[in-house]
């Protein structure tokens, strides 16, 4: 069957593959799938095409008898929390970290989680068949507005030690990437007791400050300001604020797997054990700290909805990905950038410098590479790779993860691009790089023999 949904909803270039017709019909398919008389919350990030797509999505939903609650520009986790508490379904109009010419439509179930594959496939079947359940004129849905941010802020504040933060009065430099976090995170951190200096905190869908992916290259201003002032921490969101990256007080960029490891260690230690869930792409340091503190680590395929569902099944206390997307089970089962920011600020206020906390963790080097691969060759290539490495110690939870004495390599197809991704990890940079080069060459060699 032709796929419409990717790893995180439906995305595309505006007015090319992501246009008003697609948005309208997809919304009619969603409305048909969930049924009439349901209340659907819609939130957007700050992209220039948001009003256009939101209006199309709203119209499609109302045509199937659903009522629409317009939340305006909000972080995606704020929409998810509102949906969990107050609506029957949610839709985020966002392309997260993609460039400004992209936009997307992401679905949220009534429990605040993203849809899983079989749900998306049922919606796709309705979309492609055009078999929509349109209601009579007198049953069409209505539209209203509501505020999701106060409810969301109170939920985060209830789980953070505000007194310890207010006593420490940490100085935070916050980069909102001109995205949805502009409307929320500066105000949350101030309510918690931080002194907040903002960068790129004006909502602007052209992302004039920098591209919305929080990479080291894009965060040079934040890194410079954090290192050259007396700031305690730097914080950066992506475009829809479901992920957060941190800069320590010395101006060092903290990769997402380090934050994941740090919070996994602290939460498992605090709870005297417990289960943590993370994809096979995550650093071995997560397993080290979880097991050392009496916890259990469960690996999944890559993708935050998969991690969240496994957390629910296993009653896990924490989970997340190596890209800065962290999931706190006592809050909600989705990646939550503002909650991650609040948790790390609380930890720094309680225990001291972020650099010291990070340096105490097990140290590994991670290398990432990619190889162009046509979509139709992804499955045959994986079969050939599994055959070639069949004698090695391996795991095929997602793609192929090969274990070596000096580290591991993960080879998996991208869910959003015509590429294969290669991750390698080892105790030092040279070993990690050598593993990546060796396996990149092998992938290219096998793929070349198949084309």
Provide mean pLDDT across the span 35-56. 97
Tell me, yes or no, whether 70 and 98 share the same domain. Answer: yes
Output the CA–CA distances (angstroms, integers) from residue 32 to 29, 52, 126, 132, in the order listed: 5, 22, 8, 6
- pLDDT of 392-437, one tens digit each? 999 999 999 999 998 999 999 987 678 999 999 999 999 999 999 9
Whether 105 maps to a domain, the answer reads yes
Q: Please say if the pLDDT value at position 1 is more than 60.
A: no
Half-sphere exposure of 274 (CA within 13 A, CB side): 22
Q: How many domains does the chain have?
A: 4
Tell me, yes or no, whether 143 and 54 share the same domain. Answer: yes
Residue 415 confidence (pLDDT): 73
Nearest CA-CA partner of 390 in 406, 402, 404: 402
Tell me, yes or no, whether 184 and 70 share the same domain. Answer: no
- Name the strands in the sheet holding 143-145, side by side, starting at the edge strand that comes first in the sequence: 10-13, 102-108, 89-93, 39-44, 67-73, 143-145
CB contact at 8 A, 171 and 230: yes
Provide mean pLDDT across the span 354-377. 95
Tell me, yes or no, whether 103 and 32 share the same domain. Answer: yes
Buried b (16+ CB within 10 A) or exposed e, 336-355: bbbbbbbbbbbbbbeeeebe
Tell me, yes or no, whether 287 and 391 share the same domain. Answer: no
Tell me, yes or no, whether 239 and 261 share the same domain. Answer: no
Which among 324, 359, 394 is the end of a domain? 359
Tell me, yes or no, whether 23 and 135 share the same domain. Answer: yes
Look up the CATH number of the domain holding residue 333. Answer: 3.40.120.10
| CB-based contacts of 440, cutoff 8 Å, min separation 6 | 369, 371, 422
Nearest CA-CA partner of 257 in 414, 367, 409: 367
Provide mean pLDDT across the span 368-392. 95
| CB-based contacts of 129, cutoff 8 Å, min separation 6 | none
Whether 156 maps to a domain, the answer reads no
Q: Please say if the pLDDT value at position 281 is more than 70.
A: yes
Q: What gap in Å lies between CA 79 and CA 215, rounded to an integer?
A: 25
Both structure tokens of 161 = 């030690």
CB contact at 8 A, 45 and 91: no
Residue 195 confidence (pLDDT): 98
Residue 342 lies in domain: 256-359
Which among 344, 359, 374 is the end of a domain? 359
Tell me, yes or no, whether 109 and 211 share the same domain. Answer: no
Both structure tokens of 154 = 């109170």
Tell me, yes or no, whether 242 and 127 share the same domain. Answer: no
> Given pLDDT bands bounded at 50, 70 and 90, which one contains residue 451?
confident
Whether 242 maps to a domain, the answer reads yes
Half-sphere exposure of 307 (CA within 13 A, CB side): 30
Whether 78 maps to a domain, the answer reads yes
Whether 152 maps to a domain, the answer reads no
Least confident of 286-290, 334-338, 365-369: 365-369
Q: Please say if the pLDDT value at position 85 is more than 70.
A: yes
CB contact at 8 A, 271 and 315: no
Tell me, yes or no, whether 63 and 138 share the same domain. Answer: yes
Look up the CATH number of the domain holding residue 421. Answer: 3.30.310.50
Q: What gap in Å lies between CA 203 and CA 177, rounded to an integer?
A: 8
Whether 159 maps to a domain, the answer reads no
Whether 2 maps to a domain, the answer reads no
* Site of tokens 């933060």: 165
Helices 378-388/429-450 angle, 10° precision: 120
Both structure tokens of 170 = 């940490």
**Residue in 49, 59, 96, 285 annotated catalytic:** 96
Q: Please say if the pLDDT value at position 2 is more than 80.
A: no
CB contact at 8 A, 333 and 317: no
Tell me, yes or no, whether 103 and 41 share the same domain. Answer: yes
Residue 7 confidence (pLDDT): 74
Q: What gap in Å lies between CA 210 and CA 252, rounded to an integer?
A: 19
Which among 224, 253, 282 is the end of a domain? 253
Q: Please say if the pLDDT value at position 156 is more than 80.
A: yes
End-to-end CA distance of the chain: 24
- From the number of C-beta atoms within 10 Å of its C-beta (0-12, 13-18, 19+), residue 437 rates as middle
**Active site (annotated) includes residue 282:** no
pTM of this prediction? 0.94
Tell me, yes or no, whether 115 and 45 share the same domain. Answer: yes
| CB-based contacts of 68, cutoff 8 Å, min separation 6 | 39, 40, 42, 58, 61, 62, 141, 142, 143, 144
CB contact at 8 A, 160 and 342: yes
Q: What gap in Å lies between CA 23 and CA 43, rounded to an integer?
A: 14
Whether 187 maps to a domain, the answer reads yes
């Amino acid at each position: 069957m032709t796929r419409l949904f990717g790893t995180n909803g439906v995305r595309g270039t505006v007015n090319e593959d992501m246009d008003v017709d697609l948005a309208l019909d997809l919304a009619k398919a969603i409305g048909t799938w969930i049924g009439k008389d349901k209340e659907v919350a819609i939130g957007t990030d700050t992209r220039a095409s948001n009003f256009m797509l939101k209006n199309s999505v709203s119209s499609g939903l109302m045509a199937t008898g659903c009522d629409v609650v317009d939340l305006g520009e909000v972080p995606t986790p704020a929409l998810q929390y509102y949906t969990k508490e107050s609506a029957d379904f949610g839709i985020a109009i966002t392309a997260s970290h993609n460039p400004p010419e992209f936009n997307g439509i992401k679905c949220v179930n009534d429990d605040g989680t993203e849809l899983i594959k079989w749900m998306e496939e049922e919606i796709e079947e309705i979309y492609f068949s055009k078999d929509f359940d349109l209601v009579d004129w007198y049953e069409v849905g209505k539209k209203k507005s509501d505020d999701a941010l106060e409810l969301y802020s109170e939920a985060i504040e209830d789980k953070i030690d505000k007194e310890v933060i207010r006593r420490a009065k940490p100085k935070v430099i916050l980069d909102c990437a001109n995205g949805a976090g502009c409307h929320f995170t500066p105000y949350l951190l101030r309510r918690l007791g931080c002194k907040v200096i903002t960068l790129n905190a004006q909502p602007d869908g052209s992302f004039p400050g920098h591209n919305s992916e929080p990479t080291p290259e894009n965060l040079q201003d934040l890194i410079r300001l954090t290192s050259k002032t007396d700031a305690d921490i730097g914080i950066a969101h992506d475009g829809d604020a479901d992920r957060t990256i941190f800069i320590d007080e010395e101006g060092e960029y903290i990769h997402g797997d380090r934050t994941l490891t740090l919070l996994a260690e602290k939460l498992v230690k605090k709870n005297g054990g417990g289960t943590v869930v993370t994809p096979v792409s995550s650093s071995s340091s997560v397993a080290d700290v979880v097991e050392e503190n009496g916890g259990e680590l469960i690996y999944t395929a890559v993708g935050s909805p998969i991690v969240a569902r496994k957390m629910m099944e296993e009653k896990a206390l924490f989970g997340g990905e190596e890209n800065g997307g962290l999931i706190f089970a006592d809050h909600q089962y989705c990646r939550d950038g503002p909650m991650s920011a609040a948790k790390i600020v609380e930890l720094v206020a309680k225990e001291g410098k972020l650099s010291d906390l990070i340096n105490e963790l097990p140290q590994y080097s991670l290398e990432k590479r990619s190889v162009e691969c046509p979509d139709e060759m992804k499955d045959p290539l994986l079969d050939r790779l599994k055959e070639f490495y069949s004698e090695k110690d391996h795991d095929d939870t997602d793609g192929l993860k090969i274990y070596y004495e000096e580290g591991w390599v993960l080879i998996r197809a991208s869910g959003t691009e015509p590429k294969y991704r290669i991750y390698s990890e080892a105790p030092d940079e040279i070993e990690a790089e050598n593993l990546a080069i060796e396996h990149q060459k092998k992938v290219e060699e096998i793929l070349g023999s198949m084309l």
